[in-house]
A and B are shown apart, each in its own frame.
Chain A
Amino acid sequence: MDLNLLWFILLGVLLAGYAILDGFDLGVGILHLVIAKNDHERRIMINSIGPLWDGNEVWLVTFGGALFAAFPEAYATAFSGLYIPFMLLLFALIGRAIAIEFRSKQKQGFWRGYWDFTFWGASTLATLLFGVAVGNAVRGIPIGMDREFSGGLLDLLHPYALLVGGLAVALFAMHGAIYTYLKTEGELQERVHRWVWRTFWLFLAMYIFTTAATLVAVPTATANLHSFPLLWIVPVLNVLAIANVPRALYLKRPLYAFASSCASIAALVLLFGAAIFPNMVASTGPEGTSLTIYNAASSQKTLGIMAICAAIGMPFVVIYTVIVLWIFRGKTAITEHSY
């Protein structure tokens, strides 16, 4: 395995880590307005992710930094090409952060109502935009001979990209619902339970629909499965993990359901990687303009140095993540230190 492939995989790991971890707190945001019925319940939902969302978002920051370092051409083309969606994404991420921070600092109904709405809207918009970005990466964007994005905003808001955006919202909503189920008790938990099922069926419908659309609209997405038949294990695992969610729920083992939901997300990220490889950003423009893990990469020396950094740093990251999740295990309660 060469360093370019290693970094493609490591970026996949960072993306999967981000999607699994921030996925549940984005999902809590997406469901915030529909599940919680009163101020106390809303605070329970926000505080269930209170100590964690910030650390979760670091996976995105590190993914961005690693993309910049390992594949600067892909970073530069994608970020400047998707200027407007990425600016909207930034506004959404900022809006979410300040909504969580400010919401419970004042008691007035309009204040809290405003931030609840912002938290919901920003979480939903951010998730939708992540999905749109993934959809565009799978489908490809117009890139010119100068390696610059040569399309317009409408190229990015293609129905297929929007469909993947919808899939992301459904996926994170389900993931967030299962997470909330783990963190709540009593009547609220019963209501969450109904939403776990609703979001599961929604996700399943979106999953089937998106899979069909991908097979029709993006024939190249399955090329790698044909060249490397061993990769079929990924969609198989994906389907098994998704199927295990209702099974675990039926068995009343919510932690197992959450693990299955995490595995489904990991498998979807793997599937995304299998669909685009060896491209980082596929081009719908002239032949040879796709940015691949070879023509968009940094030097071998830098990829090697970064691999050493990752080898030193990532075990620690996994240790902190586990420690912090362990410290804040169990049901969420409101204390004087809560949001």
Chain B
Amino acid sequence: MDLDVVMLSRVQFALTVMFHYLFPPLTIGLGVVLAFLLGMRLKTGDARYEAAAKFWTGIFALNFAMGVATGIVMEFQFGTNWSTYSRFVGDVFGSALAAEGIFAFFLESGFLGVLVFGWNRVSPRMHFFAALMVAVGGIFSAVWIVVANSWQQTPAGFHLVGEGDQMRAEITDFWAMVFNPSSVHRLVHVIIGSFILGSFFVLSVSAWYLLRGKHIDFAKRSFSAALVLALLASLAAPISGHFHAQQVAETQPAKLAAMEGHFETGDGPAPLHLFGIPDQEAGVMRYGLAIPAGLSFLVHEDFETPVTGLNEFPRDEWPPVLITFASFHIMVGLGVCFIGLTLLAAFFRLRGTLFEKRWLLWIFVFAILGTYVANMLGWMTAEVGRQPWVVYGLLKTEDGVSKSVKANAVLSSIIMFGLLYTTMLALFLYILNEKIQKGPQPLTAATPEGGGALEAAAEHIDPARRHAADL
């Protein structure tokens, strides 16, 4: 069988980057939660914040380790599998990556040790500072990696030098490169996505405890606080998404056309397809259900102006329409569900009946999976929609691959990554489940409020809930 290095390298990159991206959004989302909890512990001295922070720190550390282990692969892979791309973009993309190392990773990883292992070694003040630095480091890291990726989507602040194989991009204006047309939109959307995932993670674990009748006080407080973040982030997502999509329409019209399954520009208003199966071969939408003029309204804010369709581009510059359309639409659909769920929960919470609604709590236990899928699909829309370009309009993906790497070498590494990552995922879920089932440590001192103290006392009496400090 003649295996193609380009295809194999794409499969490997997709596999490793998607596996990696299981972890960073939770790091970003939970990082903010930890900084909040340790800040409140510093301010109020309430032991419940400390117990909660310890519990989430355990999960954060596990997740972080997975993110680091899978993240280093990404940095190596530009060179190992995409060396022609690396030569072309090194001047620009490499700078953003190096900046991520210098400004974000050192901060994040250095203080992670203090956050996780510093409980008996540093003051609450220093501990809060460490959590804040870890949270800030996570966001800085998102800033630089999104800048680097956005430059691939909407290159700016550069010029091309050299000819043919020797051609490469060089920075002419650093700030124009950093603030390229898509970077701020995409950064905001990525951070919101991470906040949704992080808050739904807390909601899921808390809902589970409420359903099992364990750690009730902890679960109610965590659920209520996370609900605020989840609601705000869910509402913010479509707003940021809307402005981002308008920018895509302007700077990457082929991607927007693929996202919306819009084949023909036509001379009238463009419809907005809610459902449908785009047929790339025939260039038509099948089984489509559309709002007339909806797309024109979203893109141009009027009901007349046509929207650029895929027919304006040569066929070999079309992204895979079905994948782009489906991943974008499922992501939007999930986003609508998050808004509905959080609004409903907030409504019941205000009426004081939320914690009796077991059916809704059950939905929240599993809704976390939807947020993982939505984050993943957002990136799929962005990356698949950019095809066939690796740097939009400048370098095609198939031209970016390493010339000296053989197909069987890539095939072997894919198999190794497949085995390794399957094992890692199984272990991660197993340990994560154990940590969640074990739950937060019971409080050692009675707290002022009745409920908390009773709960703490109950935890204390029940020896099964007490966990020797042997792990």
Contact = CB atoms under 8 A, between A and B. Distances in A.
Contacts of A313: 99, 102-103, 106
Given A62-B105, A298-B94, A328-B113, A309 B469 contact: no
Interface centre among A68, A84, A100, A301 (most CB of B within 10 A): A68
Interface in A36-70: 50-52, 54-55, 57-58, 60-62, 64-66, 68-70
A57 B72 contact: yes
Nearest to A147: B87
A65 B101 contact: yes
Given A76-B84, A148-B403, A301-B170, A102 B427 contact: yes
A73 B168 CA distance: 11
Interface of B: 61-62, 64-66, 68-73, 75-76, 78-81, 83-84, 86-87, 89-95, 97-103, 105-107, 109-114, 116-122, 161, 165, 168, 170-172, 174, 402-405, 409-410, 412-413, 416, 420, 424, 427, 431, 434, 469-471
A82 B404 CA distance: 10
Contact of B106 (A70, A86, A100, A320): A320
Interface in A85-99: 86-87, 89-91, 93-95, 97-98
Contacts of B168: 72
Given A80-B83, A105-B431, A328-B117, A98 B102 contact: no
A162 B470 CA distance: 42
Nearest to B71: A61
11 contacts: A55-B109, A61-B101, A72-B90, A75-B79, A75-B94, A78-B79, A80-B405, A94-B70, A94-B424, A302-B95, A327-B121
Contacts of A58: 101, 105-106, 109-110
Interface in A71-127: 71-73, 75-84, 86-87, 89-91, 93-95, 97-98, 100-102, 104-105, 107
Interface in A293-332: 298-299, 301-302, 305-306, 309-310, 313-314, 316-317, 320-321, 323-324, 327-328
B117 A50 contact: yes
Interface centre among B87, B97, B102, B434 (most CB of A within 10 A): B102
Q: Which 6 residue pairs are nearest across A and B when measured between Cβ atoms? A: A72-B90, A79-B79, A51-B113, A62-B101, A336-B469, A69-B94
A337 B119 contact: yes
Contacts of A324: 110-111, 113-114
Contact of A50 (B91, B113, B413): B113
A50 B116 CA distance: 10
Nearest to B467: A336
A328 B79 CA distance: 35
A227 interface: no
B80 A86 contact: yes
Contacts of A338: 117
Contacts of B94: 65, 68-70, 72, 75, 298
A149 interface: yes
A97 B113 CA distance: 14
A156 to B, nearest CB: 12
Contacts of B101: 58, 61-62, 64-66
B117 to A, nearest CB: 4
A39 to B, nearest CB: 11
A313 B73 CA distance: 24
A-side interface size class: 35 or more
Interface in A132-173: 146-150
Interface of A: 50-52, 54-55, 57-58, 60-62, 64-66, 68-73, 75-84, 86-87, 89-91, 93-95, 97-98, 100-102, 104-105, 107, 146-150, 298-299, 301-302, 305-306, 309-310, 313-314, 316-317, 320-321, 323-324, 327-328, 335-338
B471 A105 contact: yes
B117 A87 contact: no
Main secondary structure of the interface of B (DSSP, over half): helix
Contacts of B71: 61
Given A80-B404, A98-B424, A320-B107, A327 B118 contact: yes
A53 to B, nearest CB: 9
A155 to B, nearest CB: 12
Contacts of A97: 65, 68-69
A220 to B, nearest CB: 23
Given A50-B113, A58-B105, A75-B90, A68 B79 contact: yes
Contacts of B121: 327-328
B102 A314 contact: yes
A72 B427 contact: no
Given A51-B117, A299-B170, A327-B118, A76 B416 contact: no
Interface centre among B62, B94, B174, B416 (most CB of A within 10 A): B94
A338 B122 CA distance: 15
Contact of B75 (A65, A78, A98, A100): A65
Contact of B113 (A52, A306, A309): A52
Contact of A54 (B80, B84, B109, B405): B109
Contacts of A68: 75, 78-79, 86, 90, 93-94, 97-98
B117 A94 contact: no
A146 B402 CA distance: 12
Given A61-B75, A309-B98, A146 B69 contact: no
Contacts of B95: 69, 298, 302, 305-306, 309
A337 B69 contact: no
A76 B113 contact: no
Given A54-B109, A76-B86, A94-B73, A298 B91 contact: yes
Given A72-B87, A86-B79, A89-B76, 16 more contacts: A51-B118, A54-B64, A54-B109, A54-B113, A57-B68, A62-B105, A68-B97, A80-B81, A86-B76, A87-B413, A97-B69, A98-B427, A101-B66, A105-B431, A146-B403, A313-B106
A73 B90 contact: yes
A309 B106 CA distance: 14
Contacts of B116: 51, 337
Contacts of A86: 76, 79-80
